[in-house]
């Protein structure tokens, strides 16, 4: 599992940190969704910006989920033109980190977990 960034939980329940991949390097904030009215709505809006002087833009959303053991975790979905495809990740304990409020953004490669696409029987000329 690859770490694509880190965030720290803030006193107000939001998270601030950095998203870092080969093509993207920006500050991010998981801001509480104060307009959530349905259970399906995200718990957080994800905002990104290249530097402290730039205007943040919305690049994704996150939901608080519960695993089979009953523990809560944060599931993240990020999309922007620079990324090329949607990124899925979870917040997890950062390796070697003693601070309980610091989390790694752990990439969840949905494509690798998906079953292979069945062949159609046509090679389309290849």
pLDDT digits (tens, 9 = 90+) for 61-77: 999 999 999 999 999 99
pLDDT value, residue 111: 53
- How far, in Å, are 21, 37, 80, 108 from residue 2 at the CA level? 10, 33, 19, 8
What token pair was written down for 113?
A: 């977990």
Q: Are 28 and 18 in contact (CB under 8 A)?
A: yes
Per-residue pLDDT tens over the stretch 13-47: 999 999 998 888 999 999 999 999 999 999 999 99
46 strand-pairing partners: 30, 60
Indicate the DSSP class of residue 100.
T
Per-residue pLDDT tens over the stretch 76-93: 999 988 777 889 999 998
Q: 24-31 long-range CB contacts below 8 Å, 24 or more apart?
A: 24/80, 24/82, 24/83, 26/50, 27/51, 27/52, 28/59, 29/56, 30/62, 30/74, 30/76
Task: Report CA 106 to chain centroid distance, whole Å.
Answer: 8
């Amino acid at each position: 599992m690859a770490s694509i960034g880190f965030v720290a939980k803030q006193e107000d329940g939001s998270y601030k940190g950095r998203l870092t991949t080969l093509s993207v390097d920006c500050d991010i904030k998981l801001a509480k969704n104060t307009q959530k009215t349905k259970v399906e709505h995200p718990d957080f809006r994800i905002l990104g910006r290249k530097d402290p002087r730039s205007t943040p833009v919305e690049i994704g959303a996150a939901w608080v989920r519960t695993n089979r053991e009953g523990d809560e975790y944060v599931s993240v979905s990020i999309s922007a033109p620079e990324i090329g495809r949607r990124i899925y990740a979870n917040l997890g304990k950062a390796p070697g980190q003693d601070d309980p409020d610091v989390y790694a953004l752990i990439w969840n490669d949905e494509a690798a977990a998906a079953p292979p696409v069945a062949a159609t029987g046509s090679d389309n000329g290849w």
